[in-house]
Chain A
Amino acid sequence: QVQLQESGPGLVKASQTLSLSCTVSGASVSNGGYYWSWIRQHPGKGLEWIGYIYDSGSTYYNPSLESRATISADTSKNQFSLKLNSVTAADTAVYYCARAHCSSISCYIGDWGQGTLVTVSS
């Protein structure tokens, strides 16, 4: 049973960099076949995919966030991370880490972390 746990500051100042980590237990981030993902949800709004990393280094991002987002993996800690730079109040959201099962014909998120609220302050 895989478990994912987000960690990081709950408050970030505007213009600075949001940094979150996701610790994975019950699975290895270096195993192929899984895409380690970040998704966010603005308060009272829907889900927004940020991006994912697979094969310990290949990444895809939401085109609207690609210029500010970086996802990386630390296989020694069995973690993957999100950095989002130049944040504004519009980046205030609950951030989820998740494990996606992806192939050439489908991609679905089977396992989710509990989510962590990040508030951007001015």
Chain B
Amino acid sequence: QSALTQPPSVSGSPGQSVTISCTGTSSDVGDYNRFSWYQQPPGTAPKLMIYEVSNRPSGVPDRFSGSKSGNTASLTISGLQAEDEADYYCSLHTSSSTVIFGGGTKVTVL
């Protein structure tokens, strides 16, 4: 089974940019556009922020962007705001039709 590795935490000051990486261990990661990203503020349900590596659902600010290089997907938050403080999870849909999540990254706005 694939695994996704995220840094436990990242931080930045308001207005700065932060990038969260998500590295996969199998060939699933390199194929297609199977990555998605979720934001989870404390005490709330997760919210889809990015799908198919780099697509933003309606209503998600354009300061959130996604990309992929090789086996690593990345979520970048540009112009960090206090409301962006939350846990962020990457997710991969595997070629076995299962879904795996990364361990999560806590974003702190200093």
Contacts and interface: CB of A to CB of B under 8 A. Distances in A.
B64 interface: no
B13 to A, nearest CB: 26
A26 interface: no
Contacts, number: 67
Pick from B33, B45, B102 the residue with the most CB of A within 10 Å: B45
Interface residues of B, number: 25
Interface residues of A, number: 24
Interface in A80-122: 96, 100-102, 105-110, 112-115
B68 to A, nearest CB: 12
Interface of A is mostly: strand
Contacts of A61: 98
Interface stretch (A15-23, A46-54, A68-76): A46-54
Contact of A49 (B52, B57, B101): B101
Interface of A: 37, 46-49, 52, 60-63, 96, 100-102, 105-110, 112-115
Interface of B: 1, 32-34, 36, 38, 40, 45-48, 51-52, 57, 89, 91, 93, 97-104
